[in-house]
Structure 1
Amino acid sequence: MKKILVIIFINCFLYNCYSQEKVNDIIYFLPSNVSNILIKEIKDNDNNYLILDKEDSDTYIIYLDNSIENFWVKHTNRSVFFNGKLIPLYFVYDEYFSFAEEGKDVLKKLGTEDGIRKVSYTRDNVFNVKFKLNGEIVK
């Protein structure tokens, strides 16, 4: 009986540790007009990712990129659902207000002479869709 209680206790302990490590994903669903346009442009590779920006109070721009390895793509828990696939998503503001380094590394460098890496990207030749919150495409 004592062994059974110890096994139950250990299982409960391990289960609690496992549940704390789980990262919750945020899955976005874009308006169907926007999704249909993006689906036509998505290449059949695993490097596609999306960047969401806000132009004004009700106008958004979503960029489709697959060109470079990106820090925020690797560290985002956001994705957009397209045709049964999840495509990573991050916000332009992630680039503006954060550093392209692990949080623990940034905290170690604060107050030292070590530089913290700041990165910004130019999206001049990147496919994008400008749309209103109701799904209306803005040209």
Structure 2
Amino acid sequence: DETAASYYWVLEKLRNYIGPNVQPSAIVCDCEGGLFAPIAELFPESSHLLCTWHINNCVKVKAYNLFNKNLDSVERLVNGKWRKILQATTEAEYDRALNNFKDAYQWCPAIVDFVMQQWVPQREKFVKYWKNQVLHFGN
């Protein structure tokens, strides 16, 4: 199952296999919340990054439902204002992209709230500016 206890067990086995003193520079995973605590506990020196493919799928599904199943609007969001947020290479660029996103989608406060509550708090795990500070070989 996808509980924190199950993920802890799996990650503990991985740590034992690779050696208890080995700390990967980065661990990249999907957005499974049950993984967060076990990663932090078992690999405290490793950076925890999130897979942008999974994040994009999550944003697409949310937008699809909020935009009355309009695929063109979803693609414009994901490939436009949202991509600018993900690809920001400085904190100032990130702030501008986020503000542009909020301005452009003020007509749909639910998508803005979703991004602000779900993704902004985790920005260091997936926005280019922060993730490029960690050796991750483009994963």
- Both proteins in one fold, TM over 0.5: no
TM-score (normalizing by structure 1): 0.30
TM-score of the two chains, using structure 2 as the length reference? 0.30
- Higher strand fraction: Structure 1 or Structure 2? 1
Structure with the larger RCO, 1 or 2 (CA within 8 Å, 6+ apart) = 1
* Higher Rg of the two aligned structures: 1
